[in-house]
Structure 1
Amino acid sequence: MDLATVLLLHKSSFIVGALCFFYMRWRSREPGLDLLAVGDCLLAFASTLAGLGEQGSLPREIWTFGSFSVGVTGYALMAVGIIRLSGRRRKLSDWLLVTAALALSVLVGVTHLYLDNQMRAAIFNANSSVFLALSSAAILVGFLRDRLPGRIGLAASLMAAMTFSALVVLGVVFPEYGPIAPRNAFFMLIICHFSVALFVVVLVQERAEAKLSRLANTDALTGIPNRQNFLASLPHQLKHGDGFIMIDIDHFKSVNDRHGHEVGDAVLVGVAQTIAAAAGGKLLLGRLGGEEFALFLRDQTEETLFAAADDVRRKIKALAFVVDAGTVRPTASAGVALWSDECDATRLRDRADQALYRAKRGGRDRVEMYAALAAAPLPSVAAVVAF
């Protein structure tokens, strides 16, 4: 493949990338896509300068220094864009990479190293390798946070591009030790650029799908799983030790009526956070609707299940919400049921609901066990606590 074709493909890879990034930035507003688009535009411009220079259309000093300085700045902007895309936040320190690229351009310009083809190519591709390495590291670190499959493809593409850039340096500086010719490594680098653009689009799309999934499965107010998510997460087959806890905020309607829905929402959020903290990420929990919440536990006995419910009740009772009219101190009632051979998840939940109903009839701010429902008289609060 002749040099003109290689340069055309090189420029095309950046143009395609820039178009993809501009479009995705317009659609998704993900941080970093704008910098990726600008970086690719600069790299496409640098490639154009190099192509015109090779054809003799530009003075040597202009195209050599121009393509070098614009190119290293483009790679720096790409690195900043990838880092921001990975971490989904903007930091002022990210611009240190662009500052380093500009400083390198000044150094090369002052020393006139850009006039030496081999030195210019070696420094440029070494710079590219460093920025690509930083980009791939940022993507891999981000994988520990959201574990999206697109990160693997993007990190692999960036590492491959880094490797081929390093091979270009090796082939230019030590031709006898290079495993492949610099031109072949450069061609593979072009493919990597296309691959980077592809997997950036994939990553942004996966994030959008994950966000939609969270919205569909998470209660918008409290941030905990909603009814649909909770019920779908229950195991199909129950076993001994499985238990259900139903929790209902006492007199919640009066809180809304007396203090307004904003205070009511604050109480719901506080109670939900308290239940979630008690669950500790190990239990299934969800908001079933209104002021009603549910927990599903495994490997329980009647004693441990009752104790878990009572612990949540006590923590809710310890909450306090300061409002204009005073302080709102919510309480909650809970009903618990332990699995037995003859019931499925739906029936077990109904039993816990029946126990909850009994707890509310018995005076609220208490826990009732379904097994106690066979007894005709309601137990006293002291008896429940003693249990």
Structure 2
Amino acid sequence: MLPETVWTLGSLLFGVVGYGLLVVGMERLRSGRLPRAWRLMAACPIPFLIAVWLTGFHLDNQIRATLFHLNASLCLILAARTVTRLRRVEQLPSCRPLEAVLAFSGASFLLGAGVILFVKDFVPWLALEFFVQILGNFAVAILIYSVATDRAERKLSLMAELDSLTGIGNRRWLERMVPGHLRPGDTVFCIDLDHFKRINDRFGHAAGDTVLVAVAATLRNLKRPDDVLARMGGEEFLLFLPELRTADTLPVAERIREAIQTIPFQHQGTALGVTASIGVAQVFRLGETWADLVHAADMALYDAKRSGRNRVAHAPRVPQALVPA
């Protein structure tokens, strides 16, 4: 009953925007915030309208269906990739099934695009495919709810694993959050405040607690959504940065060091100069262990302390076959 241009172009635009919203929603589920460029989706109809005005491609069933399928396949695969990143950090039980359903749906749409291009009578095949996609949509909705439920239950269990002073994770929490298998690019920063005992001795433990809370807040604001931050005890913090580019390790560490140095601490009118030394270690090959990575970062931290403090030291590579003496 609708004009042909309205329903053909409308169905394609709804598909493009709808699956784009799925990708945005998965990123929101993963990081808790929308990606910066999500508002660009409002401009999505513009290139389609221009192409329609120039070519009228939307009236060709084969072209329109192929574009719909390729867009859906790309968005579903991107959504599955987002869930993979979420699973590496939070390790929720529902993440793996959700990742599998999204990837399967993306592959199904990709296969559907091939059927449209190479099978003359493709409509019966698309009817079967859309039946599968409807089931997949129900499964995605249920699994997203399960992920949210798993996350809520995990938050309750993690309350006992948070540092009561700074509100960030403690050592036990860190062990639960670190992935079982490290990948090249995974990086550890061991961050230790310089001469912290002097602050406690001169200004009291209340002033020292204020410094720790402020430093933890600064680190929390600087880290990426996937990064894992923990207080290891006393004045030492550990930051795990998955899949960090090698060229970015030292600049990121220097930015953290400078941010800590510029925190404006004062106690009864007296300025407190707080600095930090940072040891950096990065995974260079598969098979390296968490213990070796942290040990290398600790050794780099000691180098930074010996070299005068308030600086960054990079471990050349993670050593192999470390055994207790």
**TM-score normalised by structure 2 residue count:** 0.53
Quick one: distance in 2 between partners of 1:183 and 1:210?
Answer: 40
Structure 1 SS opposite 2:88: helix
Structure 1 SS opposite 2:33: coil
Matches within 5 A, 1:146-165: 146-165=90-109
Q: CA deviation at 1:252?
A: 7.8
Counterpart check, 1:87 vs 2:31:
yes
Largest Rg, 1 or 2 = 1
Map Cα deviations across residues 129-163 of structure 1 (whole Å, 9 max, x no partner): 11112211222123222222222122111111111
Matched-pair contact (CA < 8 Å) for 1:129–1:162: yes
Letter in 2 for 1:184: L
Q: CA deviation at 1:111?
A: 1.9
Partner of 1:47: none
Tell me which of 170, 173, 176 is aligned to 2:117: 173
Closer/same/farther in 2, CA of residues 59 and 220 from structure 1, 3 Å limit: same
Map Cα deviations across residues 195-252 of structure 1 (whole Å, 9 max, x no partner): 11111111122222222222233233233668xx79xx9xxxxxxxxxxxxxxx9998
Q: CA deviation at 1:268?
A: 6.1
Structure with greater helix percent: 1
Matches within 5 A, 1:28-177: 57-96=1-40, 99-100=43-44, 102-108=46-52, 110-175=54-119
Quick one: distance in 2 between partners of 1:210 and 1:78?
Answer: 24
Matches within 5 A, 1:207-218: 207-218=151-162
Partner of 1:381: none
Partner of 1:41: none
Partner of 1:275: 233
Q: CA deviation at 1:188?
A: 0.5
Matched-pair contact (CA < 8 Å) for 2:27–2:35: no
Quick one: distance in 2 between partners of 1:279 and 1:86?
Answer: 24
Quick one: distance in 2 between partners of 1:214 and 1:149?
Answer: 15
Partner of 2:150: 206
Task: Name the count of aligned residue pairs.
Answer: 213
Counterpart check, 1:189 vs 2:147:
no
Matched-pair contact (CA < 8 Å) for 1:170–1:177: no
Closer/same/farther in 2, CA of residues 250 and 114 from structure 1, 3 Å limit: closer
Tell me which of 267, 270, 289 is aligned to 1:323: 267
Map Cα deviations across residues 294-339 of structure 1 (whole Å, 9 max, x no partner): xxxxxxxxxxxxxxxxxxxxxxxxxx9641243689xxxxxxxxxx
The CA RMSD measured in Å over matched residues stands at 4.1
Quick one: distance in 2 between partners of 1:327 and 1:125?
Answer: 62
Matched-pair contact (CA < 8 Å) for 1:72–1:105: no
Letter in 1 for 2:67: I
**TM-score normalised by structure 1 residue count:** 0.45
Letter in 2 for 1:120: R
Q: CA deviation at 1:120?
A: 1.4
Matched-pair contact (CA < 8 Å) for 2:73–2:110: yes
Map Cα deviations across residues 16-65 of structure 1 (whole Å, 9 max, x no partner): xxxxxxxxxxxxxxxxxxxxxxxxxxxxxxxxxxxxxxxxx222222122
Matched-pair contact (CA < 8 Å) for 1:167–1:182: no
Q: CA deviation at 1:189?
A: 0.9
Matched-pair contact (CA < 8 Å) for 1:135–1:158: yes
Matched-pair contact (CA < 8 Å) for 2:73–2:106: yes
Letter in 2 for 1:275: G
Matched-pair contact (CA < 8 Å) for 2:232–2:238: no
Structure 2 SS opposite 1:181: helix
Structure 1 SS opposite 2:130: helix
Quick one: distance in 2 between partners of 1:321 and 1:134?
Answer: 44
Structure 2 SS opposite 1:156: helix
Consecutive aligned runs of 4 or more in structure 1 exceeding 3 Å deviation: 94-102, 223-226, 249-256, 267-274, 276-281, 325-329
Q: CA deviation at 1:191?
A: 0.9
Structure number with the bigger relative contact order (C-alpha 8 A, sep ≥ 6) is 2
